Amino acid sequence: MVFRDWFRDRLPARPTHLPADVTEPGPEQRQTALRLAIAVAAPAVLSLLPVVLSGHANLLAAPPWALWAVLLAVVQLIYAGWMVNAPDWASARVQMIVCAAATTIYAMAMTLVLITPVNRPLILGLGEARRLAPGWCGVMFLLLGVATWYCGRTSARWRNKVPSPSGRGLG
């Protein structure tokens, strides 16, 4: 008991108010963050559909393409959760970057499946899904491209609404 009191006396006092340059998100910002999170989480959950439908729910025995699909979905879902937890224009900008990276990965996979000759093995063990992979990657490319655009547009609009701490125009 004495140690806890000694330790508590040495800690700095908790501030009772926020500094002037900190803003708390209002209901409108929280609603925007929730919409962004849904816009990113929906394609992430949808991207798991081929893994489940092809019977690769057991990730220990799944081919590399299924593991990559799950990894991309998990990263997107984590950032969607972060968006809800930290509703801010900068979080929306990071969300846009994550969506752009996932879009690029699906575009590269689609391109590689399309340009690889039929008699050659595909990367990530996509041979079993050679026929369906280009279409699925194309759908994910379009969905994530729209999510990237939405996150970027929302981030830019949100940023323009936030006043700078100095009070001289918009941040």
By CB neighbour count within 10 A (0-12 exposed, 13-18 middle, 19+ buried), where does 164 fall?
exposed
pLDDT exceeds cutoff 60 at 1: no
Residue 42 has pLDDT above 70, yes or no: yes
| Predicted pLDDT at 20 | 60
- The better pLDDT of the pair 146, 89 is held by 146
Residue 112's Cα: distance from chain center in Å? 24
CA 84 to chain centre: 11
Half-sphere exposure of 82 (CA within 13 A, CB side): 15
Asked whether the beta carbons of 99 and 44 are under 8 A apart, the reply is: no
Which pair of tokens denotes residue 31?
Answer: 């609603």
Quick: pLDDT tens for 117-150: 878 877 776 667 677 778 888 999 999 999 999 9
pTM for the model: 0.74
> What was the pLDDT predicted at 149?
95
Dihedral over alpha carbons 131, 134, 136, 138 (to 10 degrees): -160
- How is residue 87 written in tokens? 């509703």
pLDDT at 8: 66
Residue 13 has pLDDT above 70, yes or no: no
Q: How confident is the model at residue 65 (pLDDT cuts 50, 70, 90)?
A: confident
Q: What angle do CA 85, 171, 18 make, to 5 degrees?
A: 50
Q: Where are the domains of the chain?
A: 27-161
With 90 as the cut, is the pLDDT of residue 153 above it? yes
